[in-house]
Every structure is written in structure tokens, then in C-alpha cells.
Structure 1
Amino acid sequence: MMKQSAWRQMTEPGFWAGVLVVLCTLSVGADVHQALKTPSMPSKVLQRHKRAWKWDKLYVNEEMPTKSPIKIGKLENTFFTSSARYNLSGEGANDIFTVNDNGDILVHVKLDREEKSVYKLSASLFNNDFKRQLDQDDTFVIVVLDINDNSPVFPPDISGSITESSRAGTIVMTVKATDADDPTTQNGMVGYKLLNGTDLFSINNDGEIRTLTSTLDREKQSQYLIAIQAKDMPEVTSGNLATTIVTININDINDNIATFKSREYRYSVKEDSKPGYQIGILGVEDKDEIQNKDPTFTIHKFGEVFEMKQSNLKDGVLSLKMPLDFETLNAYTFSVNVDEQTVSKPPDNRGPNLLTRAQVFISVIDVDEPPVFSRNEYKFSIDEGPFKNSVIGAVSAKDPDATAYKIRYSIEDPNCPVTVDPVHGHLSLKKQLDREEESSYLFQVTAHEDIPNGLKSYAKVNLTVLDINDNAPELTNGRDVYVCESDKPGTIIGTVGASDKDENPGRFRFTLAKRSSNFSLTDNQNNTASIRLRQGGFSTEHSVEHVLEIEIVDGGTPEQKSINLLQIKVCTCQAERRVEYCMAYAQTGMSVSAILAILLCIVTILVIVILMVLRRRYQKEVLVTKSSGEIHEQLVRYDEEGGGEMDTNGYDVSILSSACHDGSFQPATGPSLYAVVKKPSACKGDMAVMIEVKKDEADHDRDGIPYDTLHIYGYEGSESLAGSLSSLDSSSTGSNYDYDFLHEWGPRFRTLAQLYGVDGSDTDSSD
């Protein structure tokens, strides 16, 4: 009680102020006494005096009432006299803090330590009019003393977590409440206390929450809400309190094994299902969270046909591993086990009644399947060469269904060189193969059920064409052989090689088919041959054609050989046989292709000429038909196309009829080619007279057209029964004359016969 009473006195607002006044008085008095004991010294002698200001700190309680200024201390200086004055400067000077004439320091406002706990000020001593400073400035501080005026504060939404089955004493989390009061005093110190959950958790004065048990189980309870109380002045009964709710989450671990949801699972699968087909889901139960589930599945029997995998939800996925065949086996029965390795041993859920084994029943559904080939891909080989209609191999397929339909074979590619026997599947060639053109063929053979709309299947066939030695070797590098004018006898003027389209593993042999007086050939035994100069003296000015006949034999079986012509040019060369100019040798012959082209052109010209002659002869033929009686009219042909309807303006028939009546006529004015056509009236004069008249006109009229042909005339014979054939004066009425004889004149008069012939319809109607 005495300690508590003493503490209360110390915390009273005026207690520390009185202590401060006493301390200041004692200090100032000691300084004055010391000053009185010191003898006076001459003014000219500098003396070292002790500091005249005597204090360290001043203290003031926060939250003190401010109805009137409160004295918190006093300034003391040995040089102070009645004519001296004190002055304050610094934080809060002359506002919060003032000094009176006696040096008393007064506070005028209520202070809050939590806002500002220390004020730094300076004290000065002046004469009465503040014009002369009597002593140096001195600094001091005013400390605001704390009182317990703030409560602890928790942060919002405090939560923590701990793994289930953790050992007792494991730290769950740490809570921290703050107090604005001075943390170095009981006012700012905070203590903690649990208001519930004390059977599972504990808390110390540092705010650490620990477990009291190792039996926390997320599957039983995954979250706890704990009330925590915070109190300042923890060692004193009184004090400020604060309360908050802390959320503690229990984290999951894999401490439960997975079990099946059912003892039996039944599925149906079509036999044509492909490997990888998902048959069904075997659902499992596991109390752990999904990230902590890790079941494994084991199939007992038929593991080569089916397989089990985990789904995204950690259930069992049953899928097909290989194709099924209804005709072989139409049902499957097997068991599946589920197992899981847990963190805790043994797992939380255990016992003989757990469903860790399930029975699976699968029924295979029969479907109509396409034919099945004995192999997916067939490989055959055959020698190239002359066409042989022999079997190169065979394909085979069968119907896997119980119906076992017959199979027919075909090749759908029309460009395939192989044909297949539709019944037995034998493959044979349709044409001769040449490896140099194409060395392999890849095609498909189709097998289909021999029923309407039967199913089909396909198999690949890879046919390799084997090489035979059927190509003669050919000369290469012939352009690199030339003779320089400066070459000496014995100079190698070039090296030739050989190539062969066959797969020739042997070596080429080179010889001269015809001896040459200028050149020799040396077989280098490495598929090349060197051309060597026998004698020199070549010149580009007297260049002739130099040809070597080189015989090349390959090393195949049977051997093939060829004779190749090597044409050698004569060149002017620089040092090291660098070609400067080459003289082309004379061409003494003509190639076969050029001769054929010339002959083809000649034949084409002859054919065109013959066709033109025949056409002209055909156009000149004129069929002239005469009756058995009098010749009524003569038809004269001319090589001039008619003008169609313009003919009506091209002929003046009146010219020929001008001999009628009075035997005179008026010729057309101007040098027109033909006169205007007009049908003259019937003339009874003799035609010979008319012709004479025309001749006379032609002889005397120099501007007139000579009528050396009678294609312009308008005179019909006086005895003509047909009258005029001119379209300009044809009668619109019908005629009784019989024109059936026009049908006998041939196809050229077919149209005329149709115009003047008797229509069958008219004949019928007349009857």
C-alpha cells in the first residue's frame, strides 16, 4: 500500500514541478555562495567564470488543465538583477511556454505526449531595454511526462494457420497490439490473454500463440475463432483493455487414403473402339483436399488390355489399351485396387470395411468391321527391264466378323503400274518398269466386302524397282579437252570420265575404238582416261575437225559398252594452257534432226499446193444440162462473186434488149462497171442481131465496157417456155412447168430443186 501511495504521489501533476524548483534553487544558491567567496579582481584581468545557468531538464505532465498558466520551472542566472530580463526562444517559445520577470516558466496549453514529447528551447538574459545581452544563451529541454491515456489497438483481420497433426507447442502465429503511450513505462506495455480455446491454444506476453495438443484434425474442424484480450499496465490491476477475434485455419495433409464409391462398375464398349478410348470413371472418396490426394490404381488380370489413370479430380479413369474383338472375347471381368501413401502412419481412416477393391464388368458390343489385311504395309521388289506379266506378290485380307463375307481387291489409282487380282489379291505389272525413271512406287490396295455397300479397308504397298545393267556408259568432261598451239608431243590435253544411269558398282574401261595419229588415250584405272598429244604443230588458222572415237565398257553384268565421239578444238593459249581463243572446227555434215525438219516442211508445202489445185479445179467444173429439144438459154460462168441484192443496181439488162423494136439503144452514162438492172420486155428479134449490135457498140464507144462475155443480157429466146429466170421480173404466180429434173442435177442444185420442185404437202392436198 505504501508503494502504491508513493507511486500515486509521484504521478501527481505538481510533484515533479516541486522537485524541479527545489533542485534549481539549490543549484542557484550554490552558485551565489561561490560567487560571494570569490575576491574581486582588476577589470583589466580576464577571469574564467563558471556557467551562470543551472538546470538540465524541465518536466511537465501531459493533459494538465489549462484554465490558468501553470508554472513548471524557473530560470536562474547569477547575473540576474532587478534591471535584467529573461527571454525564451525555440520550440513553443512565447506561445506554449512563457517566462515572467521573475524567471518563472509557465505553460499555457494542454500538452499531448503522443503528439510531441520533448521541446527544445533557449534562454537569454538582457538588460531592461533588451539592448544588451548580459550572458550567453543556454539551451534546455522540457520533457512531457506520459500518463495512461491510450488503450491497446489490434490490427484488423488477424488470421493464422497451422498444419493438422502438428506437435504440441508449435507456434501458430504472433499477434501484436500497439499502445500510443510511452513504451518504456507501464502505460505503453501490453499483455495478452486468451478468452476461449484455452484447451487447444496458449498465448504469452509477446503475443505468440502456440498449440497445446497434437490432435488438431482438419477433417473434424478446419477453422477456429479465438478471442484475445490485450491490456496495458500488465502488472497492475487497472489499465486499458482491447479485444479482437483471431482466425486460425488448420491446413490439410495427406492423412486419409482413397476408397471406391462403389463395389462394382459396369461398362459396354464397341469392339471398333480405338486404343486410348475412355471407357468410364471409377469414382473414389478421399477426405483430404484435392492437392493432397494421390491414389494409385492396380488392375488384376487383363492389364495388357485396359489401363487406369488419375483424372483431374483424382478419380480413376479406365481406358482401352488395345483393340477389342467381339469374335474372340465378348466380355471381361476383373478387379481394380486403389492405394495411397499417406503422411501419417497409420492413416486416420482405416479398417476392414474400407472399399479399396472394386469389380469391373465390361461387355463387348459387336459391330460390322471392315476387312483386315494381314499386314498394314506390304513391301515387294522386282527387276526393271522387259515387261513380264508375272506375279510380284500378293496381299491378303479377311472379314473379321462372324458373317465372314468374301473379299475383293482393287487398286483405285489409274496411274498405278500394278494391277491386282480381284479374287486372290495377286499383284502383277501392267507395263514395263524403268528404274532410271522411277525407282519405287507407293500405292494402296483396297479390300472391300463382296456385298452391296460393303465396308472397305486399305493397305499400303511399297514396290521397289531393282536395277539391271541396261544402260550403256556415256562420256563426260569432253568439253575440257582441247589442243593449244604451243602444246608439245606428249602433253596431256585433257581428262575424260564416264557416267552410267545404272547402279554400276564396277569400273569403267576406256580404249580408242579407232586409232588416231594425233592423239593417244591412257586408262587411269580410276574411271577416268587421259588424252595425250602424239605430235604438235596445230594451228587455229588451219583448223580441221579432230574426232576421237572412245569406247567405254562398264563393269556390270552383262557388260554394256558404247562408242563416244570426242571432238577436240584447237586453241590459242597463254601460259599454263589458259585458253585465249579457240577455232571452231568446220561442220561437214548436217544433223538428223535438221534433215527431218527440212523434209517435214517440204511435205507440208506440197500438201498445201495439191489442196489448192484440187480446190481450183473443183470450182471450175460447171454442170451444163441441155434438154432434148431446143436450147433455150446458155449459162456462162464467171469468176466473180455476186453482190446479193446489190445486183439489182449492178446490171442494166436494157443494154441487151436495146436491139428490140427499133434496134437502137442508149448506153448508160459514165464508166460504170454494170448498168442499172432493168427487166426489158420480150423481144422478137434474132439474138444474132442483138450480138452484132453489141459488138458494134463496143467497137465505136471507147468509154464503154467491151462485152466480150455474155453475162449481162436480158434477152430470153423467143421460143423459151420458162420465160425469164431473172429475179427482177419473175412472176409471183405459180407455173405449170415441171422442175423435177433439177433433182437429177446433183447436190449442187439441191437448193434450187427445193425452190422449184413440187412440195409433197401440196401434192397430198391436191389429191
Structure 2
Amino acid sequence: MGILMWLVFSALTQTLATFETEHSQKDASFTQNTVLHRHKREWEWNSIFVHEEQKIDHPVKIGKLKSTKATKNSIFVIDGIGANTTFVVDSHGDVFVKKTLDREKQSIYNLTAKVIDSQTKQLLEAEEKFYIKVMDINDNVPTFTHSQYNGSVPERSNGGTSVLKVTATDLDDPTTEYGKVVYDLLEGKESFNINTETGLITTKTLHDFTINLDREKKDTYKLIVQAKDTPSFKTGGTSTVTVIVTLEDINDNLATFTQGNYNFDVKESESIGFIIGRMKTEDKDELQNKNPIFTIKNPDDGSIFNVKQDFQKFGVITLLKALDFETIQKYEFDVEIDEATSMPADNEKELKNSKAHVTIKVLDVNEPPVFKQPSYNFTIEENVNIGTSIGSVSAHDPDKAKNTIRYSINEDSPLRIDPTSGTLYTAKELDREMNHLYAIPVTAAETDHEGLKSQVIVNLKVSDVNDNDPELGEPYSVFVCENDGPGTVIQRIYAADKDEITPGSKASFALASPNANFSLVDNHDGSANISVKQGGFTFEDTKEYIINIVISDNGQPSRSSTILLPISVCKCEENRINYHCMKPYAQTGVSVHAVTAILLCILTILVIVILIVMRKRYRKDTLATLGKSSGEIHEQLVTYDEEGGGEMDTNGYDVTVLNSARNNSIMPGPCLYATVQKPAGKADMGIMIEVKKDEADHDRDAIPYDTLHIYGYEGPESLAGSLSSLETSSSDSNLDYDFLNDWGPRFKTLAELYGVDASEDDYEY
């Protein structure tokens, strides 16, 4: 009991001192020297304190208000938060508490006190502030901020390495022992320490060496941390929390093979990069911290095989070179495993299987033919004869059977191949300007029942020969300005050649014939300048000038071409920028080929005209002869292709015109052909008609001969009688008109009308 009272007294003393310190600056009237500062006041009382959590069944006196001016009739009145509800005062100034207080909710109550005369209700003493301070008791225990803590630290960490910090709070007054918290490890002290004041957990160090935290032995630790208040006493509130510490892995173990010998089989046909097999390893570290290094100890095998890590950090054997069963059937070599650790390995002393023996057996397969070269390259000149040999390809059977090889090539290839020897020949004419590079697949096949095949590419380059004439590089529109003076360069021309241009080979230019108006200067760089010689050109001169240019290459042998380049005269502005050219009346520059074509056309036309004239003269002679031999001339008029209209003539023509044609008095004057002198006698009538026909043929202004006007003379009747429908009786005639078929094709129509079944093929025109 004595100890408890001492504790209470100490707590009260400390609380009072703290209270007075806190409020000394707020109210100068409430200090330790109360009397000195309030000498005008008549209030007298001690500081009022009350314990929290005190059980209140009835009002409990906690202090007394005193004033020198108080009388037996005076009463005390208090105001403020809690006044007259939580705290009350009687007429004697005794202060009572009526409720249980909680310091954690409110630790100080600010109140005012007044003394009033009960009869006069006059204020005997001015109101004065006073405080009721709630004294703390240890009614709260420390509380952790988390229900569980989780932390981590690398394995094999040095002593004192921070892991994590725990924190607990106590609602009691932090200025007293009740509110102070200290920490302790209830579990885990063998590997970790904790700072009793801050709660920081660190790895443990004992006597200058670090406790070995080995993840491979134990990867998780469970710690129990206690938080306790009133650290100066054994009694006090406590709470605990669980802390899980996980060890992080580091590379502190060496990898080893799981076995000492590994055996693998691989086909000889497998390609480079093929995975032959995996060598399993063992490493206690986590996957991300494993870093094994594999080394093949046999230098020769190291160039054929390779061992590297896979995603599981196993050793993967891959193929670096092609295998050949016919050469080597088995490989044997050793593989060592090593690893660089961050510190001395835990398993260094107990390490085993750091070396393994590997045996690889090569399996035989039937392989396709193998060409001696991965590709073939040949060069041949263009335009060589078909069947020219360019070289050969060769393949062999790599197997023991050594089967015969036959070669083949596509039918549309520019080459053909000898199926047994592999010799290549040209199959068509090669033109470098059409295609200068060919990639031709050639197939080699074994002649056994499986007929395995393989292919190789033959690259054929067609080299150039000088088989193309040089030309102008582009179509030039050359003009000369009327104000261009002597020496003015009016155009720079360039040469082009379909043949391959070799370094240093440049075409040369020259005039094929001297030109009085223009000169040509070779620049010796594949170009030439056309310049004005004398000038004096006029825009009104629509003549187009021609210069004859010879372009020569320097091939072996050299080739050249002649170019006719027209030059127009134009009206130009300054610097020859804007110009206007008139279209020439005629083109005077024509190529040799064009002139030859024109001459051939003219010659052909002349031959045709001569043949027509000769044929026409021959026809005239034939008709004249026929007319004289028959004795009847009147019928020759039918040759002018004017076929009668039959009975329709009576409607189409006035018959009186024919009758009046015999009466010269009716005509206003003689017609053109009537003026021609007519030979006397019936025998000369044919000659007269021919004369009149010739005059009609050569007189452009004359009326056509096959009109009614030419019938100015009626010949004697013919053997066939009259052919006119005007005087023909309606009865059928019994005359035979078959002789009309003998008069030729011009009487064919009459023969068909009056003859009997005249054949169209009786006469050839």
C-alpha cells in the first residue's frame, strides 16, 4: 500500500508540474507564484485533480473553492464544459465530480468560478478561471499498427542488417510511464535482435561473427515481438505480434551434374543447330541465381558440338557442324561444369560430379546427292552459238552405296545439261541487253529405287559484246534563236548505248558532212555541244535546218550511227528562256530509210499506172477490132455501163426527144460531138465513135458519153435487130442473141437479158 501511495503521489507531482508548465504561457495569472501575480484577487484554492476511471456511485469531493470575500450568505457558481453536470459546487465552495472520467477522451476541463451574494445577487468576487485536470492511470495496453508483419533479408547477411521495423502505440499519457512502450523478442532471439525503443529488427551478431542464415537449410523464420508499457516496472500492459522473416536466395551453391555419364544418338542428316540432348544439373539455389558454365574439354569436339544453358539451367548439347557416318561413327568427350558464386560456396567441400563423360553415336541415313560446291558461277559472252559449253556441275552419293547420279534442268532454261556428265550447254541465243543474269536450278538424282534428289543454283552471267550502235541519249528538240550570234551553244547532246559501259569508255561525236550554219564540238565525256557558226537567222524563215551527226563508240570493233537532227529557228527572249517557234512548211530532214521507202512507193505507183494505161489501150484495140469484124457499130455504145431500164424507159425518158434527135432544125445548135467530122460510109462509123469517145475521155467539161446526147447518129440495124423497148412488139422475139456472149464482159448484162443461159465464167476479165 505504501508503494502504491508513493506512486500516486509521484504521478500527481509530475502531472501538476507538467500542467503548470503547459499553461504558464497561456495565463500569467495561473503560475507557481499565484499570490504574487494575483494580489488583487481574493480567491484561494489548491489545484484540483481527479483520477480517471474512478467509480462514481455518488458525488465525490475533489476540491474546494475559497475566497476571502465569501460570507455566510454568499454562494459559489461555476461555468464551462462539464459545469453543473459532470462537476458541481455547493454553497461552501466544495467541488464534486458526479461521473466517471476518461483522460483519453478529455484530460483538462477549463471552468470559471464566481462568488455571489445570495440575497442581493451581487457579485462579491470577479469570476476566475480554474482547471480540473484528469489524472492518467494505466488503463490502455500498447497496440501494434499491423496484425502481422512480413519482412525479408538476403541469406548470409552480415550482422546488424535491417530486416523491418514494428510499431505499437499506447493511448495513455506519453509523458508518463503509462504511455511509454518498449519492445522485446519473445521468439527468434537466436537469429535476430530488436531495438527495445524503436522496434527495428536486425540480424544477430554474436562475439564478432554473424549468425549464418542459410536459405537452403531454413528459408523462413517466425518471430514473436512483445510491446509493453510502464517499462520501469514489471507490471504494465503488454501485447504481441507475429513477424515472418523470409530469407532471400543468393548464388552461394555450385551446380553439379546429376550423373557422371551421358549417352546420346544423332542422325548424320541432322542440320546445324540441332539439339542432341540435355545434361541435367543440380543446384540448391533458386533458378534465377543459377549460372552454370559448361566447357567441353576435348578441343576437336568443341568445334563440332556446343554445350550451353537452357531455361532450366541444364546443359544443352547442340550440333555445330554436319555429321558424316561414313567418316566418324562415334564421338566421346568430357564436359566440366563451373559457377561463379558471390562468396565461398556452401557445398564446395562436398562437391561431386563436376565433370561428366559424354558419348554421341552417329546413326547412318540414306542421304541425297551432294554437290561439290554450294553454288556454281559461270560467265559467257552474248550471241554465242547455241550448244556452246559453259562448264559443268558435279555431285556424288555420300552413302556407301555410291549410286550413279543423273542431272536434269528445266526445259525453259537457257541452258541444257548432259544427264551423265553434268556439262552445261547453251540452249538458246543469249542477249545481254534482254537479261544478263540467270539463276538456274540444276537437279541431281540418285538412280536407285529411292531416287533421292538435291538441287544447286547455277548463276550464269552474260557478258557484253559491242553489238549495239550508239544513239542519242534522249529525243532533243533543238532550236536556234534569231538573235543567237556566232559561237552560241544552242544544245548539249549526250550519247546512249545499250551495250555495257566500261570505265573510261565514252562515245565520240562528229559531223557526217560539213554544215555551213552549225558546228559540233566533242566534249570527250560522252557529250557534244552544237554551236552557231555565223548567225543571222530570221524568225520568218520557216525552214528547218538539218545537221548530220555521227556517233561512234570505242568498242572492239567500234560501232557508229548517223543521226539527222533538225534545228528550228525561233524568236527568243533574253537568256533563251521563253521562245516561240513557227511550224516549218516542210520537213527537209528525212532519214535514208524514209527516203528509200518513199522511192519504192513512187516506183510501185508508176508501174501500176503503166499497167493500167497498157491494159486500157489493149481493151480499146480489142473493141475496135470487134466492131469492125461484126459490121455493126451501134451496139458498141453499151460499153459505157449504162444499162437500159427495159419497159421503164418509156416512163423515164421522153420518146419524142429520140425522134427529134434526127431533125436538126429542132435543136438550137449542134451538140459537141455533132461538130466532129463524120467519115462517110457505114464502114467508118466505128472509127467515128472511137474518135468521139476519146474526145469525151479527154474533155473534162463535156457531157458524159453515156447519156442521150451522144445518140446523134443512128447506125444501121444489127443482126440482133433493135434492142430498144420503144419499137419492140409485145410478142416474144424468136431471134438468137447468143452471139452477145462473144463480145466480151461489157456485153455480159445484155447477154444475160437476151441470150440463152450465158455463163458468168465464159470470159475472164
SS of equivalent to 1:479: coil
Match of 1:367 in 2: 365
Q: What is the CA–CA distance in structure 2 between the aligned matches of 1:353 and 1:555, rounded to whole Å? A: 82
- The answer (yes or no) to whether the contact 2:114–2:125 under 8 Å persists in 1 is yes
Letter of the aligned partner of 1:436 in structure 2?
A: E
Which of 93, 108, 118 aligns to 1:118? It is 108
Aligned AA for 1:405? Answer: N
C-alpha contact (below 8 Å) 1:32/1:78 kept by paired residues: no
SS class of match (1:262): coil
Counterpart contact for 2:544–2:569, Cα < 8 Å: no
Rate the CA distance shift 1:105–1:374 in 2: closer, same or farther, 3 A.
farther
2:169 paired with 1:178:
yes
Going from structure 1 to structure 2, the CA distance change for 1:551 and 1:228 (only over 3 Å counts) comes to: closer
Aligned pair in 2 of structure 1 residues 122, 268: CA closer, same or farther (>3 Å)?
farther
C-alpha distance 524-324 of structure 1, shift in aligned 2 (>3 A): closer
Q: Distance in 2 between matches of 1:81 and 1:276?
A: 115
Task: Give 1:512 shift.
Answer: 1.3
Letter in 1 for 2:6: A
Residue 472 of structure 1 and its aligned partner are, at CA, apart by 1.5
Question: 3-state SS of the aligned residue for 1:551?
Answer: strand
Q: Quote how far apart the aligned CAs of 1:440 are.
A: 1.3
Identity across matched positions, percent: 42
Structure 1 segment 589-604 matched on structure 2, within 5 A:
none
Native 8 Å contact 1:478 1:566 kept in 2: no
Residue by residue over 1:643-683, the C-alpha shift from the partner in whole angstroms, topping out at 9 and shown as x without a partner, is: xxxxxxxxxxxxxxxxxxxxxxxxxxxxxxxxxxxxxxxxx
**Per-residue CA distance 1:533-563 (angstroms, 9 max, x = gap):** 3444444544234211111112222211111
Are 2:422 and 1:425 equivalent residues in the alignment? yes
Q: How does 1:111-510 map to 2 (within 5 A)?
A: 111-123=101-113, 138-154=128-144, 155-206=146-197, 207-209=199-201, 210-211=203-204, 212=206, 213-301=210-298, 302-345=301-344, 347-351=345-349, 354-387=352-385, 389-412=387-410, 414-476=411-473, 479-504=476-501, 505-510=504-509
For residues 292 and 2 of structure 2, the distance between their equivalents in structure 1, rounded to whole angstroms, comes to: 72
Contact (CA 8 Å) 1:31, 1:52: kept in 2 or not?
Answer: no
Cα 1:55–1:361 change in 2 (3 A) is farther
Distance in 2 (CA, whole Å) between partners of 1:112 and 1:195 is: 32
Match of residue 70, structure 1, among 60, 69, 72:
60
| Change over 3 Å in CA distance of 1:161–1:539 after alignment to 2 | closer
Deviations 1:66-115 (A, max 9, x none): 22223333445566566766554443344333444444433222111222
Map 1:691-710 → 2, pairs under 5 A:
none
Match of 1:105 in 2: 95
CA separation of 1:95/1:529 partners in 2, compared to 1, >3 Å: closer, same or farther? same
What is the SS of the residue equivalent to 2:234? coil
The gaps in structure 1 that reach 5 residues or longer are: 21-26, 36-47, 607-697, 701-705, 707-767
Question: Given that residues 520 and 532 in structure 1 are in contact (C-alpha distance below 8 angstroms), is that contact kept between their aligned partners in structure 2?
Answer: yes
Deviation at 1:484, TM superposition (A): 2.5
Change (3 A) 1:357 1:477: closer
Residues 596-635 of structure 1 mapped to structure 2, 5 A cutoff:
none
Contact 2:256 2:351 in 1 (8 A): no
1:92 to 82, 86, 89: 82
Cα displacement string for residues 202-242 of structure 1 (whole angstroms, at most 9, x for unaligned residues): 44522344424523322222223333443322322322333
Cα drift, residue 7 of structure 1? 1.9
Question: Counterparts of 1:475 and 1:571 in 2: how far apart (Å)?
Answer: 23
3-state SS of 2:563 partner: strand
What is the alpha-carbon distance in structure 1 between the residues aligned to residue 34 and residue 541 of structure 2?
148
Output the TM-score relative to the length of structure 2: 0.68
CA distance in 2, matches of 1:264, 1:34: 102
Give SS of 1:112's match.
coil
What residue in structure 2 maps to residue 525 of structure 1? 524
- Aligned equivalents of 1:388 and 1:460: distance in 2? 21
The 1:556–1:198 alpha-carbon spacing in structure 2 relative to 1, beyond 3 Å, is: same
The verdict on how the C-alpha distance between 1:381 and 1:148 changes in structure 2, with shifts beyond 3 A counting, is same
Counterpart residue identity of residue 510, structure 1:
F
**C-alpha displacement of 1:376:** 1.7
Shift of 1:313: 1.9
Moved more, 112-121 or 312-321: 112-121
SS at structure 2 position matched to 1:219: coil
1: CA distance, partners of 2:162 / 2:506: 90
CA contact (8 A) 1:377 1:460 kept: yes
Paired amino acid for 2:196: N
Structure 1 residue 282: deviation in Å? Answer: 1.0
Counterpart code for 1:494: Q
CA deviation map 1:175-226 (0-9, x unaligned): 3333222222222223344444444444452234442452332222222333
The superposition leaves residues 373-420 of structure 1 with CA deviations (integer Å, 9 ceiling, x where unpaired) of 2222222222223435322222222121111212222223x4431222
Q: In the alignment, is the contact (CA less than 8 A) between 1:56 and 1:141 conserved in 2?
A: no
Once residues 9 and 223 of structure 1 are traced to their aligned partners in structure 2, the CA distance between those partners, rounded to angstroms, is 49
Deviation at 1:321, TM superposition (A): 1.9
**2: CA distance between counterparts of 1:119 and 1:321?**
91
Contact 1:570–1:583, Cα closer than 8 Å, also in 2: no
CA distance in 2 between counterparts of 1:569 and 1:34 reads: 131
Residues 8, 381 of structure 1: CA spacing in aligned structure 2 closer, same or farther, 3 A cutoff? Answer: same
What amino acid is the match of 2:50? Answer: V
Distance 1:171 1:292 in 2: 22
Could you tell me the TM-score, scaled by structure 1's length? 0.68
Unaligned runs of 5+ in 2: 21-28, 609-728, 733-765
| Equivalent position SS for 1:583 | coil
The aligned counterpart of 2:665 is: none
User: Is the 2:225–2:243 contact (alpha carbons within 8 Å) kept by the matching residues of 1?
Assistant: yes
Cα distance, 1:143–1:130 mapped onto 2, change above 3 Å = farther
State whether residues 31 and 78 of structure 1, in contact with CA within 8 Å, keep that contact through their aligned partners in structure 2. no
Q: CA deviation at 1:567?
A: 0.9
AA partner of residue 584 (structure 1): P
Q: For residues 574 and 376 of structure 2, what CA distance do their matches in structure 1 show? A: 63
Q: In the aligned structure 1, how far is the partner of 2:451 from the partner of 2:126?
A: 123
Alignment of 1:620-659 (within 5 A): none
Query: 2 CA distance for matches of 1:559 and 1:585?
Result: 38
What letter is aligned with 1:219? E
Q: Aligned equivalents of 2:128 and 2:730: distance in 1?
A: 165
| Preserved CA contact (<8 Å) 2:12 2:135 | no
Shift of 1:283: 1.0
2:551 aligned residue: 552
Please list the CA deviations of residues 111-132 of structure 1 after superposition, one character each: whole Å capped at 9, or x if unmatched: 1122222333444566769997
8 A contact 1:255–1:348 mirrored in 2: yes
Deviation per residue, 1:420-452 (Å, 9 max, x gap): 222222222222222222221122222221234
Given that 2:466 and 2:559 are in contact with CA atoms closer than 8 Å, whether structure 1 keeps it comes out as yes
d(CA) in 2 for partners of 1:7, 1:535 = 136
User: Helix, strand or coil: the match of 2:7?
Assistant: helix
